[in-house]
């Protein structure tokens, strides 16, 4: 069942449990947006790019964050599926689909997870090259070959 009364519903970061930064919200009225579908009430808050942690808020550069809470009627049962959520921005026809918690965590851990525009310049003379402004690579494991393009500095396998 698709809900059209709450277009801002998305599970882009499903890892948003209640944080210690503010007390857990136990009622739909504690959220800025609410919608009712049968015996289930959905509540949501758009957190922009802030992902609440235990004692801090993490800036998630690659994702939009929407906290969603489900409030079923007493005694009722329901199933939550990731595929039931999407986010439409500014009436765009292409919805944004949810990301897995693993993808969000990887983008936090590895800043170079997604290539971003950079300004790069270089000078070559007598077989040597000096590059300035290239992307900094974070090694994902010892000897990660993606962190260097210099074959002389690549460890043997």
What pLDDT, in 10s, does the model give residues 108-135? 887 766 666 667 777 777 777 777 766 6
Same domain, 17 and 32: yes
The overall longest dimension of the chain from CA atoms, in Å, is 78
Together in a domain, 57 and 125: no
How far is the first Cα of the chain from the last one, in angstroms, to the nearest whole number? Answer: 53
- pTM equals 0.59
pLDDT band of residue 19 (cuts 50, 70, 90) is very low
Q: Are residues 22 and 39 located together in one domain of the fold?
A: yes
Task: Say if residue 69 is in the same domain as residue 50.
Answer: yes
* Per-residue model confidence as pLDDT tens digits over 23-67: 788 899 999 999 998 889 999 999 989 888 888 888 888 888 898
For residue 15, the enclosing domain spans 1-120
Dist. CA 98–CA 101, nearest whole Å: 9
Bridge-based pairing of strands 33-37 and 40-46 is antiparallel
Shared domain check, 107 and 50: yes
How many distinct structural domains can be found in the chain? 2
What's the confidence (pLDDT) of residue 92?
A: 84
What does the DSSP 8-state code read for residue 87?
A: B
Judgement on whether residues 130 and 89 belong to the same structural domain of the protein: no
Instruction: Give dist(CA 95, CA 105) in Å, integer.
Output: 22
Domain assignment present for 84: yes
Kindly state whether residues 22 and 95 are assigned to the same domain. Answer: yes
């Amino acid at each position: 069942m698709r809900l059209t009364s709450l277009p801002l519903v998305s599970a882009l970061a499903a890892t948003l449990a209640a944080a210690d930064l503010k007390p857990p919200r136990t009622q739909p009225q504690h959220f800025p947006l609410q919608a009712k579908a049968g015996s289930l009430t959905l509540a949501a808050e758009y957190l922009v790019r802030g992902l609440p942690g235990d004692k801090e808020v993490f800036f998630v550069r690659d994702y939009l964050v929407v906290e969603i809470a489900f409030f079923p009627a007493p005694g009722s049962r329901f199933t939550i599926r990731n595929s039931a959520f999407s986010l439409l921005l500014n009436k765009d026809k292409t919805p944004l689909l949810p990301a897995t918690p693993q993808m969000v965590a990887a983008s936090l851990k590895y800043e170079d997870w997604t290539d971003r525009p950079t300004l790069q310049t270089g000078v070559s003379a007598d077989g040597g090259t000096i590059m300035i402004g290239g992307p900094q690579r974070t090694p994902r494991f010892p000897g990660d070959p993606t962190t260097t393009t210099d074959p002389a500095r690549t460890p043997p396998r």
